[in-house]
Structure 1
Amino acid sequence: MNTINEYNSLINEDKEIDVAIYGSSHAYCSYNPRVIDSITKTRSFNFGNDAQRLVVSNFVMKETLKKISPKLVVLDVYITSIKNPEGVKAFGFQKSSYYYFKIFSSNKISSVFEVLPLEEAPEVLFPVFRKKDLVSNFNFNRKNNYFYSKNANAKEYRGFVGFDLEMKPMKPQSQEKLLSLINKNKTLYDGFTQQEEESIISFIEKVKNKGSNLLIVVAPYYAAFAGEKHAHFHNYMSMISEKYKIDFLDFNLVWNEIGLDYKDFKDKGHLGSKGAKKVSKYLANYINTNYVLPSRENELAWVEEQPKTLKSFIAETFPKTSLEVNKKLNDKVYIESIDFFNEGSISKSVIIKLKNRVADSIISKYRLGFHTYINDKNLNDLTSYSKSKNRKYDAWDFIPEIIEIDGSQYIIKRLTTPISKFPKIKLFLYDKRGYKGVIGKNIEIENVIVR
């Protein structure tokens, strides 16, 4: 819902989409439009959806291309995503891709009857048949402006969902071994039906008829290195790409160049935020090298869309939004003001501006106690350590370092918490070798909101 509402918002503002990305969760976990746009100077959008099969990506592509004319279409595929859905669970995933588009269109009707069993079609085409909607007061109006609550561990932006999660340690994957299998055995993957092959060709032809470039990609995932199956699939997609004269990029073959390891994944099949940033940078540079797309860097609307960096936040926003403190922690350290830089749903940095000049040799003697107190409704959002101690606050104590920006001194600490409202925060200094009491005074600030 968030993805389609954000897409419709762009359309309503007459903003063109230059790069359109389609696929399954592999797509929406891998390709971050923020990162891509910052390098290509274009506007991109990610239309990936959970377990979305190619036959349904075809529907989404056709529906969105009614309103946009992207210069480049990126289609993410892997073996399962090309297979037609089978079974209740797989059918259930496909339905969500239909719900958020216009109730009746020839494209939707033909696609629904092509993909789903006859008995499943009414639920998709007629909201009254959805079991969850069978309540006494029917309301068929979509909430076009409502922004649905986010996963606490996720960053959402134009269809991309980045998870600040890290999978358990895995042994390094051998890019060279996979490449060897691809070159050694040129056998093509033979597990696709004629209808599934036609879905690939249909997607290609529709994009070409629109006048857009097409790039087929395979997101990195651990199953690609298991046995010879992916090698055969890679050769099959290479053959298709050569036949129809389109580009093909398998990220599993540039694993080393990207610098991927298990810390970049949230699970074996999906990248986390860190891995998505690496892959998106690689994709953006690939686009710059292989395609000529118009730059939007001189368009005010595009510039205003770009995310703030910590440095630009301090230069432009901090002076307007920071809370005045003007209190001394001790006779050496005097705090002028404080604010938070919101980097995502759970990532934020506290920025402490100093009023007096403090030498590194002085600040390095201390540990800064930084405690964020919470309301009862946020008890479950505390860190595991805080919950184990039955606290109603998180302690983010750290050895502070001075950072100088535009002639002023700051202390900055990154926090990982979904909490954005603190009835109280407390700051104090103590000996860096261990707590033996506060050196100076506590500073308490009430009713702090992270914007």
Structure 2
Amino acid sequence: MKRSLQILIFSAALLAGIKYLEQVFESPHHLINTANGFRELSDENNVDILFLGSSHMFASINPYVIDKNTRSISFNLGTDGLRLQFTSIMLEEALKTTKPKLVVVEVFRGSVSKIETEVSKGFQLRGLDFVSNFSLNKFDRVKENFLFSEYPGVYSRLLRNHSSWSEKDFLNLNREFQINLNKNLYYSGYFGARIRLSDELRNQYSGFRLKERKIDTTFNFLKPIYLNELERLVQLSRVHGFELLLMTAPDLRASEVNNYLYTQLSAFADENELNYLNLSSNEKFDELDISFDDFKDASHLNLNGGEKVSQYLSEYINENYSLSDRSNEDVFIARISDYEKMHFGKEVYNCDIGFALTDSLLITNLQILKPRKNYIIKMNFEDRGNSNNKYRIGAHMFPQAGYEDELDENSKVKDRDFDVGTGIITDASKPLEVILYSEIRNIERLTFFLYDINGYKGKIGETLVIKGDQLLLSEQ
């Protein structure tokens, strides 16, 4: 009896020690933040919409925008470089604590490419770490994609990272990634970059919306390993009773490469009575009004692009799926409030102005918010002529004399004496939100004006001018 007790105590201590060391040797990355946030939310509340995929997913879909417009609760489980074949096991893990009504899976060329580099293998391990080591399906995916000699490192962070023991903090076990909120917005798995595409990449992809897409049917993207995974996702949707939506996020590189994958995905969706959204097509680029200002690099959207895609997807979900209205629930109200406090920051201007930009189009209300970085401008309109004209609206912010050093770097490079924000008015009955990339605090004036939707050919109508001393920045 005494010996049995000793063995039991020793075993418990050994297991506790191993668990501790597994935490010590975990490497910080933002999927840890995402996993912790998801478990905290789903332990107490059901999640209606789940988003899974690669970094294209976590850079494209903002759950706040989805939640507010669909009156649901959503979460983004996208992770760096995830290959398609690991999606179903991540979803199975999530299904242990929540019962979604809709699951959106992002697929692009990188999702169906070989795992050839150590960096790429490391990205897959992040997704695999989200999944319990007791999952038999996880073991099947590991067998298909890793060498037998790699199994110990796949299943154990300690064995994977043991050589870096001297760099580890043995006291602080928090391995969440320290996100610079001046450079990125992070919320419920969404990672919105506050930077814009470089001039070099703008030149490289010049005319991307006009280029005809290449379709080479001789190359089969959906090899058995990927087709089987899509079929597993369909099966999960039937067993667990959720709708499955496939999507491809906007990618500048789509204008240069073989797009046959997206034809194959569309055919698979049709065969299985699913919806598929290719937001990287020329048609969707035009519909979304995607521009260089919506990207942080050639393959990932920035905060502005994520706003556009999330708004579009919200409308698509409302039109094609039926979700319960949860807007009166405490969890919904708290999530919306927390996000708005974090992202929108202090309101520095709010006025019902009734300013006529043209004879028929008025700005009825203008609100300006100052979060950690840049400015967010919200506008409401009235179209008295019911003309349904579509315009772009420009917002220019000018610094006071002597404070030109506060101009955005992009403005300095282009030798402008103002910072710029732009938006597109497609429906005057809906509010418009514009991000103005600027850190100017000593503001001389803000101007707002319309111009042609197809590009600047001169101002249309009247210019609204807001003096800098009307903005309440001094208290920040």
Q: Structure 1 length normalisation: TM-score?
A: 0.67
Change (3 A) 1:138 1:220: closer
- Number of residue pairs the alignment of both structures matches: 348
Secondary structure at 1:20 match in 2:
strand
Equivalent residue in structure 2 for 1:268, among 294, 298, 317: 298
Secondary structure at 2:273 match in 1:
coil
Task: Name the residue aligned to 2:464.
Answer: none
Task: Name the residue aligned to 2:40.
Answer: 9
Counterpart AA for 1:396: R
Counterpart Cα distance in 1 of 2:344 and 2:59: 27
Secondary structure at 1:75 match in 2:
strand
Counterparts of residues 105-184 of structure 1 (less than 5 Å): 105-132=135-162, 135=165, 143=174, 148-150=178-180, 152-167=182-197, 168=199, 169=202, 170-174=205-209, 177-178=212-213
Which sections of structure 1, spanning at least 5 residues, go unmatched?
316-339, 350-365, 374-381, 387-393, 403-408, 414-426, 428-444
Counterpart Cα distance in 1 of 2:83 and 2:48: 23
Residues 371 and 396, structure 1, Cα contact 8 Å, conserved in 2: no
Equivalent residue in structure 1 for 2:316, among 286, 292, 298: 286
Counterpart Cα distance in 1 of 2:472 and 2:131: 44
Task: Name the residue aligned to 1:200.
Answer: 230
Secondary structure at 1:399 match in 2:
strand
Counterpart Cα distance in 2 of 1:30 and 1:98: 22
Residues 54 and 199, structure 1, Cα contact 8 Å, conserved in 2: yes
Task: Name the residue aligned to 1:308.
Answer: 340
Change (3 A) 1:143 1:239: same
- Mean Cα displacement is larger for which, 298-307 or 65-74? 298-307
Residues 222 and 264, structure 2, Cα contact 8 Å, conserved in 1: no
Counterpart Cα distance in 1 of 2:161 and 2:335: 39
Instruction: Verify: 1:47 aligned to 2:77, yes or no.
Output: yes
Task: Name the residue aligned to 1:416.
Answer: none
Task: Name the residue aligned to 1:239.
Answer: 267
Instruction: Verify: 1:399 aligned to 2:399, yes or no.
Output: no
Change (3 A) 1:308 1:395: closer
Counterparts of residues 329-408 of structure 1 (less than 5 Å): 343-344=371-372, 346-347=373-374, 367=400, 396-400=441-445
**Structural RMSD (CA):** 3.8
Secondary structure at 2:280 match in 1:
helix
Change (3 A) 1:276 1:189: farther
Counterpart Cα distance in 1 of 2:330 and 2:46: 14
Secondary structure at 2:244 match in 1:
strand
Residues 33 and 160, structure 1, Cα contact 8 Å, conserved in 2: yes
Task: Using the TM superposition, give the Cα deviation of residue 97 of structure 1 relative to its aligned residue in structure 2, in angstroms.
Answer: 1.4
Change (3 A) 1:141 1:401: closer
Counterpart Cα distance in 1 of 2:327 and 2:268: 35
> Deviation per CA, 1:277-305, whole angstroms, max 9, x where unpaired?
00110000000000111111121220121
Secondary structure at 2:245 match in 1:
strand
Identity of aligned residues (%): 25
Counterpart AA for 1:239: A
Residues 30 and 276, structure 1, Cα contact 8 Å, conserved in 2: yes
Task: Name the residue aligned to 1:323.
Answer: none
Instruction: Verify: 1:97 aligned to 2:97, yes or no.
Output: no
Instruction: Verify: 1:74 aligned to 2:109, yes or no.
Output: no
Task: Name the residue aligned to 2:423.
Answer: none
Task: Using the TM superposition, give the Cα deviation of residue 55 of structure 1 relative to its aligned residue in structure 2, in angstroms.
Answer: 1.1
Instruction: Verify: 1:251 aligned to 2:282, yes or no.
Output: no
Counterpart Cα distance in 2 of 1:204 and 1:85: 24
Q: Structure 2 length normalisation: TM-score?
A: 0.64
